[in-house]
A and B are shown apart, each in its own frame.
Chain A
């Protein structure tokens, strides 16, 4: 089945630890995105990548890092510099920046 797979579904980490969220897609999409969703707020763009080996900061990139070494994969690292890391993280992909984006099922990160 084609789609976007985010893993794990739930993740718990201690404060001060870095954590990496996985996002894999087999849709042959060039563009990939990471969003953060908090209660009472719309989805906010963290990073996006238009093509392999290229990525750009979104609106709330501070405290996060990404890599795009393969077309299928766009992992997100939440570093200890992120002040409020507990949130629901969504990965998405699209053929290009101008076409419909499809979302994964999300990873709920809780930092204690």
Chain B
């Protein structure tokens, strides 16, 4: 079993829909959680970075962490075709990037 599980998709939604992207993890010691967006043939870019359980909002994006269930989510409101990309979750025991574990990514397609 992988430490971090992420549905690879693809996930297709109509423009304007609310998108829910999810990851589950097995190591209860993970403390820091991140979401990256990766366009095709490009490097990932950091979208959200959270430490504690609960919600963190940034514009149309909301990151949710439920440590008791070992489950994290990224919600995208009013999805746009420009949101079409692969979304990677990532997590680490401490804040150190040398110990970050990445999910395999979920490919999202927003249909105009």
Residues in chain A within 8 A of chain B (CB atoms): 4, 6, 31, 33, 40-45, 48, 50, 56, 58, 90, 92, 94, 97-106, 108
Contacts and interface: CB of A to CB of B under 8 A. Distances in A.
B96 A97 contact: yes
Interface stretch (B12-20, B65-73, B76-84, B101-109): B101-109
Interface residues of B, number: 23
Nearest 5 A-B pairs (CB), nearest first?
A103-B43, A42-B102, A98-B95, A43-B102, A97-B96
A51 B88 CA distance: 27
Contact of A42 (B41, B43, B46, B104): B104
Interface of B: 4, 6, 8, 41-46, 49, 88, 90, 94-98, 100-105
A103 B44 contact: yes
Contact of A98 (B4, B96, B103, B104): B96
Contact of B98 (A6, A48, A100, A108): A48
A4 B46 CA distance: 14
Contacts of B105: 42
Contact of B42 (A45, A99, A100, A105): A105
Contacts of A31: 97
Nearest to B105: A42
A106 B98 contact: no
A42 B8 contact: no
B95 A42 contact: no
A42 B42 contact: no
- Count chain B CB atoms within 10 A of each CB in A56, A92, A98, A104 and give the residue with the most: A98
A77 B103 CA distance: 26
Contact of A97 (B46, B49, B98): B98
B8 to A, nearest CB: 7
B88 A90 contact: no
Contact of A43 (B49, B88, B94, B95): B88
Contacts of B44: 43, 90, 103
B8 A40 contact: yes
- Pick from B43, B94, B96 the residue with the most CB of A within 10 Å: B43
